[in-house]
Amino acid sequence: MLDYIKVSSQQHPTACVIWLHGLGADGYDFEPVVEMLNLPHIYFMLPHAPYKKITMNNGYEMRAWYDLFGLDKDSPQDAVGIKASQTEIKALIAHANTLGIPTNRIALAGFSQGGAIALHTALRHTQTLAGVLALSTYLPLKHTLPAQKSIENQSIPIFMAHGIADEVIRIDTALSSRQQLQDAGYAVEWHEYPMAHSVNANEIADIRQFLLKILP
């Protein structure tokens, strides 16, 4: 199982959020954001992705959920790496279950590459999850979703947020992903902010409200 940072201030939390960092970061990246959310009833798991050589970055090795060949809409995608990370996140969900937290009280969250894995995993998970937060990201392997999506999470609450000045993953890419999700019958709560590839205070406030709604 992946190593992770634990953020929990209650001995017996009643809910869990598994939060995935972006390319080249680690589990510590969103620890300050989690502290700002101030949701003591939620057990936050912030896992570290394994190190991988990234083709788009000339083979440089960094923490990553899958290999990247490009960020254009038509760039090839690392299906093997995405599926491997999906398996790792499923193991973390099972681990949360052993802590006494049922799957319907677990949400997946992620930023950028981590958000892509959160979306990919949640929509295919065969037990009902509480929700998914997809921050500054896109829907990977979109062509496989119709055949692989789970009935159990067809009605999952989806929070998507993006910066209008994002030059890493352009907002057009995110809007296209939102449309694909809506076309597949998913309800998406969409937010956009005047920022680049990052998070801001307004987004954090909106995330807090969403988490209180899905994990009261």
Quick one: which H or E segment has residue 172? Answer: helix 171-183
Catalytic: which of 21, 67, 112, 162?
Answer: 112
Phi and psi at residue 25, to the nearest 5°: -95, -160
Give the Cβ contact number of residue 85 at 10 Å.
Answer: 26
- The CA distance from 83 to 147, in Å, is 15
Residue 9 corresponds to which amino acid?
S
Q: Residue 142 in contact with residue 120, Cβ under 8 Å?
A: no
Name 136's Cβ contacts closer than 8 Å, sequence gap at least 6.
22, 111, 112, 115, 161, 162, 163, 166, 168, 169, 174, 197, 198, 199
Catalytic: which of 29, 67, 78, 166?
Answer: 166
Active site residue 78: no
Name 189's Cβ contacts closer than 8 Å, sequence gap at least 6.
157, 158, 159, 160, 210
Q: Residue 49 in contact with residue 21, Cβ under 8 Å?
A: yes
Active site residue 197: yes
> Hey, which residues are catalytic here?
112, 166, 197
